[in-house]
């Protein structure tokens, strides 16, 4: 058996790994490369070090992506260059991901307005979806719609799941309008997460995520099943996480929600049969 590529090894710990593994080889390897890119720039955004060096690192990534599209990919991006050529991946989507990560580097995001949150979700999640649907082989219009709705559903679920971890980094992605509508004026993450009305504010994001999951399922129901097996698995898994978060609630201590391996295996088998 061939040893896993560095990109595949890096993807092994991802929530999306199982969904990626079921793809045919060329698609699977392309998705591993996309994930490795996203993981690398996300690590820069989450590094607790000084901001200026991290912005410089992100700028180097922009330069490397430009070089890749100019036909002079750095050696470490040879695998990604193959994916770009094979699936005609768009440069602007890679740049959008970097721009999204830079939003976290410039300043800690705290209770953004809805417009800023929408922009953030588009860059860090929907742009990844736009890359992914090209790999899956979806028709352009349906692919863009799925990238938008499923990307937002997954990112909103991440925000609700990672409240504690984000607050530890000084971040709070719950929209300002949802907080103020329930009487929470503070934007300090620790203060907001201790407020007894937090669950009411989170309910707004829950409803948004649920609506996005519904929209994504409608799109996938109209596509050839073999084209949407991977996004179905990802969507079903994250929908279960969202349900578990709702069942747990959002008041302290907010125990970590994880998808049991048996449930993930069931989702995979259900989509393969």
C-beta of residue 156 within 8 angstroms of C-beta of residue 216: no
Q: What are the structure tokens assigned to 158, written together?
A: 């991440």
Q: Which residues contact 106 (CB under 8 A, 6 or more apart)?
A: 51, 55
C-alpha closest to that of 153 among 220, 224, 84: 220
Q: How confident is the model at residue 1 (pLDDT cuts 50, 70, 90)?
A: very low
Q: 0.85 exceeded by the pTM?
A: yes
| Domains within the chain, CATH numbers bracketed | 90-272 (1.10.600.10)
CA 189 centroid distance within chain: 21
CA distance 33 to 13: 14
pLDDT digits (tens, 9 = 90+) for 128-158: 999 999 999 999 999 999 999 999 999 999 9
Mean pLDDT of 93-116: 98
C-alpha closest to that of 14 among 171, 237, 169: 237
Q: What are the structure tokens assigned to 224, written together?
A: 């050839």
pLDDT digits (tens, 9 = 90+) for 40-71: 999 999 999 999 999 999 999 999 999 999 99
pLDDT digits (tens, 9 = 90+) for 168-226: 999 999 999 999 999 999 999 999 999 999 999 999 999 999 999 999 999 999 999 98
* The pLDDT value given to residue 21: 77
Beta-strand runs (E) in 45-158: none
């Amino acid at each position: 058996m061939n040893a896993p590529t560095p990109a595949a090894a890096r993807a092994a710990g991802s929530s999306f790994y199982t969904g990626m593994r079921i793809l045919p080889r060329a698609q699977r390897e392309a998705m591993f490369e996309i994930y490795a890119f996203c993981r690398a720039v996300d690590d820069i955004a989450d590094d607790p070090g000084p901001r200026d060096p991290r912005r410089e690192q992100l700028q180097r990534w922009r330069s490397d992506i430009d070089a890749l599209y100019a036909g002079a990919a750095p050696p470490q991006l040879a695998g990604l260059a193959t994916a770009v050529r094979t699936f005609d991946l768009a440069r602007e989507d890679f740049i959008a991901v970097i721009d999204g990560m830079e939003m976290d580097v410039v300043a800690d995001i705290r209770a953004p307005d809805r417009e800023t949150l929408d922009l953030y979700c588009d860059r860090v999640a929907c742009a990844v979806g736009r890359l992914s649907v090209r790999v899956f082989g979806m028709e352009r219009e349906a692919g863009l719609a799925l990238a938008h709705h499923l990307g937002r559903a997954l990112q909103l679920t991440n925000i609700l799941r990672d409240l504690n971890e984000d607050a530890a980094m000084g971040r709070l992605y719950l929209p300002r309008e949802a907080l103020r509508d329930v009487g929470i004026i503070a934007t300090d993450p620790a203060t907001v997460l201790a407020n007894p009305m937090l669950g009411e504010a989170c309910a707004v994001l829950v409803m948004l995520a649920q609506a996005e999951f519904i929209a994504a399922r409608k799109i996938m129901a109209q596509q050839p099943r073999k084209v949407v097996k991977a996004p179905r698995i990802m969507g079903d898994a994250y929908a279960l996480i969202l349900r578990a978060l709702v069942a747990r609630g959002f008041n302290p201590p907010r125990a970590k929600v994880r998808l049991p391996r048996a449930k993930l295996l069931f989702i995979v088998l259900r989509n393969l049969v």
